[in-house]
Amino acid sequence: MAFNFGPVKVTATRSAKSSIFERVTNAVTQRALDKAVAKIPDSARKHLPLARSFMNKGVTGLIDSGLNSLFDKLGIGGTLLPGGIGTGASQLLGGITMADAISVFDEHVRTDFAKKNLWCIRVRNLQGGAPLDINLFAIDVAYPLFSVQGDPVHVGSGSFDVVTNSERREMRITTLDDSSGSVKRWFEERHAAMCHPDGTFGLPVEYVFKVDVLHAYISEQVDGAIEGWVDSYVMRPGSLETDLSRREDAMQEIQMTFVQWDTFAALT
């Protein structure tokens, strides 16, 4: 098969056993070269390194040259992929040996990672009223696991930290609701028990509730869930917000906040 480069003729040989990949590559290369070279003036072709490579080696020669350069690095004693497992560090593997890479991969596969979308939340009233099956409605839950405040004390040109307190948690929950407003009604009951219409406040035991969040499992009945991480807090109602719009046909979402009532977990 011959390529015509104006005054230059490049010949690429192909054996009868050429793979379909080679044949497709040669056909595509020929078409692209015909279009590209036709636009290059004869006086400029001699200044193109790529054109000189084609003129000197042809398509097959150029491909072979590139592959030889690559396999010089990939082959035994190369810098990208050492010839034997554990024989040397590899640039392709981030500077570690093949044995180290296999070890890291095996450890990664054996690890049962916690997934962000697998969790379960349960709300239990400490006194009175029906509990809220919020796990059925909840979409997103966000809260700080630990938050500790401290003040710096300056000593000469340096300083050290004095811990002042452990911050209470504030849980932000995005939920759906049914057409009868079950979630909103439950929150209203908790709010009414906390802030009476006559301006007085209720007793904490009347409005606080227990919140449990199980990580990495969708239910407490799933195998292995008993060993999962569980956050348990005694909390009170914080705020309830919603956003209605006629611009789209979508599920109503409600943003609730629960505030930790005490950091001692004295109530159960």
pLDDT, position 74: 53
What are 162's two structure tokens? 């004095």
Report the amino acid identity of residue 78. Answer: G
CATH of 119-260, one of 3.30.1300, 3.40.50, 1.10.3470, 2.40.30: 2.40.30
CA distance 216 to 102: 27
13 vs 256, more confident: 256
* Cβ atoms of 243 and 151 closer than 8 Å: no
Query: Helices 20-38 & 49-74, crossing angle to 10 degrees?
Result: 150
Per residue in 212-261, pLDDT (tens digit) is 999 999 988 888 888 899 999 999 999 999 999 999 999 999 999 999 99
Q: Which of 81-95, 145-159, 172-186 has the least mean pLDDT?
A: 81-95
Residue 19 scores a pLDDT above 60 = no
Q: Please give the radius of gyration of the chain, using alpha carbons only, rounded to the nearest integer.
A: 35
CA distance 6 to 48: 15
Nearest to 189 by CA among 177, 175, 202, 170: 202
CA distance 154 to 51: 70
Domain locations in the chain as residue ranges: 1-73, 75-111, 119-260
What are 200's two structure tokens? 């007085």
pLDDT, position 215: 95
- Give the mean model confidence (pLDDT) for residues 54-60: 53
